[in-house]
Amino acid sequence: MLQFTQFALTRALMAIFTLLLVSLIVFSLMEMVPGTCAERYLAFKNTQGQQISIDDIEAEERRLGLDKPFLQRWGNWVGNVFFRGEFGDSCILRLNINQLLGDKFLLSLGICLTSLIFAYLIAIPVGILSSASKSKWLNGSLRFVSYFGLAMPNFLLALMIMLFSTMVFGDTLSGLFSKEYRDAEWSIARVLDFLSHAWLPVFVLGWSATAFALQTVRALMLDESSKLYVTAAKARGLSGGKLLWRYPARHSLGPIINSLGFDLNRVFNELPIVAAILTLTEAGSLLLDSLARSNDQQLAGAIIFLLTASIVALNFITDIALAVVDPRVRRSVMGA
C-alpha cells in the first residue's frame, strides 16, 4: 500500500509539474500578443470620449501589475489559477473569465468525453472481431472505413451532414439548445432538449476518434494474438470469444487505457472547428471567438490551460486506473 501511495504521489507531482510547464508556455504566449491589457482598457476609454496620455497608460499598467517582471506576473497568474481557480478578467470584454466560461467549459468537456466513450464502445468490439476474423473482405473494408475516418476531417463530415439535412429535412441541425431553453435554468426538460441536440456533435467528434481507436485496438490485438501464451491457451482447448476475452484482450487493455489522454487531445483539436460549423455555444467556439475576432489573450489562455489541465488529469487518472486494473503494474507498484 505504501508503494502505491508513493506511486500515486510521484504521478501527481509529475502532473502538477507538467501543468506548471504548460502554464508557463500558455502565459508566455499570452504575453506575446501585441498590446497590453492597460492599452486595451484605455483604448476602450478613448472610444468613450476620454482623452488619454502616456501617463495614464503607465498608471494603468501599475494598477494591473504589468510593470512587474515577467516571472513574478506568471507566478501571480499561476497562484490565482491553482489556489483560487481564478483566471482574472478578460481585457476585451471587461468581464470575469470564470463568469464568461460558466458551465460552457463543462458542457464541452462532457461532449468530448461522451464522444470518446462512444468511440471506444464501437472500436473495442469491432476491433477485436476484425483481428480475429480471417475474412479478407471484412478486414479490407474495415481498414478502408477507418482510413476514411482519418482522411475525412470532422468539419467536412459536419458540413456534409448539414448539407444532407438541409436538403432533406430543411433543418440545419445546428446549436446545442432549442430557442426556448437557451437561457433557461437547468431542468429536466432542458437536459432532454440538450441531449436531443448533442448527439450530432458527439457523433461528429467521435467519428475520427473511432477510426483511430479501431486501428489501435486491431493492431494491439493482432500483436498479442500471435504471442506464445495465446498458442498455449489454444493448446489447453480454449477457443472463440472466451480465448479472445481472457487472453489477448486483457493484455491489450493497458496500452488502450494509456492512450485515452491523447485521444482526448485529438478530440479537443477537432472541437473548435466543429463547434464553429454547428454553431455550438460552448468553450470551443468561445475560443475561436476570442482568438479570431479580438485577440482576447486572457480568455484564450484560460481555455487552452483548462483543456490541457483536463488532459493531464485524465492521464493521471488512467495511470492510477492502470495500476489498479493491470496485475503486472499493480504488483510492481503495490509490492504484492
Partner 1 sequence: MADTDQTSTSNAGNVSGAALGATIEVDQKAREKYFTATQSQLIWTRFRSNRGAMIAGSVLIFLILLGVFAPFLSPYDPTIKGRNKEYQNGAPQIPKFCDHNGCSARPFLYTLERTRSIETNFRWVTEVNTEKRRYLELYVEGWEYKLFNWNINLPGKKLDFTIPGFTFNKHLFGAKEGSVHIFGTDSTGKDIFSRTLHAIYTSLAVGTLGVFISFVLALIIGGISGYFGGILDGFIQMFTDAVRTVPAIPLFMALAAFVPDTWSAEMRFFFISIILGLIGWPTLARRVRTHLLVERNQDYVLAAQLQGAGAGHVIRKHLLPSFTSYIIVDLVISFPYMVLSETALSFIGLGLKDPVNSLGVMLQNVTKADVLLNYQWYFIPVIFFIALVLAFVFVGDGLRDAADPYSSVKK
Q: Under the rule (CB under 8 A), what is the footprint of partner 1?
A: 14, 17-18, 21-22, 25-26, 29, 32-34, 140, 143, 147-148, 150-153, 155-156, 159, 162-163, 166-167, 172, 261-262, 265, 268-270, 272-273, 276-277, 287-288, 291-292, 295, 297, 300-301, 303-304, 307-308, 311-312, 315
Q: Provide the 10 A C-beta neighbour count for residue 151.
A: 10
**Beta carbon of residue 130, minimum distance to partner 1 (angstroms, whole number):** 15
State how far the Cα of 25 lies from the Cα of 284, in Å rounded to an integer.
Answer: 20
The dihedrals phi and psi of 136, each to the nearest 5 degrees, come to -65, -40
- Per-residue cell: 206: 467521435
- Residue showing cell 494591473: 64
104-132 and 297-325 helices, crossing angle to 10°: 40
Compute CA distances 92 → 99, 294, 300, whole Å. Answer: 14, 7, 11
**Beta carbon of residue 273, minimum distance to partner 1 (angstroms, whole number):** 5
Nearer to partner 1, 3 or 265 (CB): 265
CA atoms within 13 A on the CB side of 310: 18
User: Residue 271 carries which side chain, given as an amino acid letter?
Assistant: L
State how far the Cα of 246 lies from the Cα of 103, in Å rounded to an integer.
Answer: 42
End-to-end CA distance of the chain: 9
Nearer to partner 1, 152 or 334 (CB): 152
Nearer to partner 1, 127 or 272 (CB): 272
Beta-strand ranges (E) seen in the chain are 89-90, 95-96
**Beta carbon of residue 192, minimum distance to partner 1 (angstroms, whole number):** 27
Nearer to partner 1, 116 or 312 (CB): 312
Nearer to partner 1, 252 or 290 (CB): 290
Nearer to partner 1, 60 or 271 (CB): 271
**Beta carbon of residue 296, minimum distance to partner 1 (angstroms, whole number):** 9
- Residues in the chain, overall count: 336
